[in-house]
Amino acid sequence: MNCTEFESVVADIARSVLMDGVSRREGLAHATGCERCGRRLANEPALGGLLAVAAAEVMGRTAPPAVEKALLPAFRESKSAGHPGRRAWWLGAAGAAVAALLVVSVVVRRPREPQIVKVPTLMPAPATQPTKIIAPVYRETRKPPARTLRAVHRKPAMPKPRSAEEVREVVTEFIPVIYDPEPVDHGRMVRVRLPRSALAAFGLPMNEQRAEETIQADVVLGEDGLARAVRFVK
């Protein structure tokens, strides 16, 4: 037995705790041969004695009577309220949780309807009148999180990919792409990547040095599949 192993049995030897006889013999033998551990074992009864005195000194200590006086009204109150109320509260909470889960599952399973996008009607302009380029209006929108069944199930385990600040987007107004005498009431919006030069094609300012790069855009497709309007996303 070495000193480390002796440390793990010295208290048991000193406290006369029921222990493995071999460990006890080996511990005592080590203490005989090792001066430091021998001293440690010799000090143990003194430590044990002090601990016993410390324990005896507080043996008579009890909580003040005020504690019991304060507890008795609480006991009466809790009993008058009764456990059924508490149980009912838990049942209500559980019911609400189940209902919320059902609603979530129904929402998740429901097939997504095509997104309705209002597209501004392009009025024919006189040919002689030059097209007035209007600076785009930028506004911030929050990108809604993707709601799929898998995402709902994984939610507790998945780390948050990006903070709300990060998913914030800056978009332009929708810009009509083709002349359409009949206003489009319904359409499907798809996100695409376009070369930056497309900005210039729509009369928007563009950094020519970054013309090779791409930019995100939302394109509104009519029911016939033709692009009706586009907006750029930053």
Partner 1 sequence: MKVLTNLADDELLRLMASKNEQAFTVLYQRRQRAVYRFALQMSGSPSVAEETTQEVFLILLHEGSGYDPARGPLASYLYGVARRLVWRRMAQDRTHVQIGEEEEDGRTPEQLIARSEVENDVARDQAVRSLRRAILALPAGYREAVVLCDLHELSYVEAARALGCAVGTVRSRLHRARALLAERLAAKRSNSSGCLV
- For partner 1, the binding residues (CB under 8 A) are 7-12, 17, 40, 43-44, 46-51, 53-55, 57-59, 61-64, 66-68, 70-72, 74-76, 78-79, 83, 86
For the packed helices 21-33 and 3-15, what is the interaxial angle rounded to 10 degrees?
110
Q: How far is the CB of 50 from partner 1 (least distance, A)?
A: 5
Taking the least distance from each CB to partner 1, the nearer of 84 and 205 is: 84
Quick one: CA dihedral 85, 89, 94, 96, positive or negative? positive
Q: How far is the CB of 90 from partner 1 (least distance, A)?
A: 11
List the end-to-end C-alpha distance of the chain, in Å, as a whole number.
71
Phi-psi region of 93 (alpha: psi -120 to 50; beta: other; left: phi over 0): alpha
Taking the least distance from each CB to partner 1, the nearer of 67 and 146 is: 67
Taking the least distance from each CB to partner 1, the nearer of 21 and 64 is: 64
Q: How far is the CB of 2 from partner 1 (least distance, A)?
A: 15
Q: How far is the CB of 9 from partner 1 (least distance, A)?
A: 8
Q: What burial letters (b/e) apply to 92-122, b meaning 16+ CB within 10 Å? A: eeeeeeeeeeeeeeeeeeeeeeeeebebeeb
Taking the least distance from each CB to partner 1, the nearer of 8 and 141 is: 8
In a 10 Å sphere around its CB, with 0-12 CB exposed, 13-18 middle and 19+ buried, how is residue 230 labelled? Answer: buried
Taking the least distance from each CB to partner 1, the nearer of 38 and 48 is: 48
Q: How far is the CB of 33 from partner 1 (least distance, A)?
A: 19
Is 216 in contact with 230 (CB distance < 8 Å)?
A: no
Q: In terms of Cα–Cα distance, which of 234, 33, 54 is closest to 140? A: 234
Taking the least distance from each CB to partner 1, the nearer of 70 and 116 is: 70
Q: How far is the CB of 73 from partner 1 (least distance, A)?
A: 11
Is 220 in contact with 119 (CB distance < 8 Å)?
A: yes
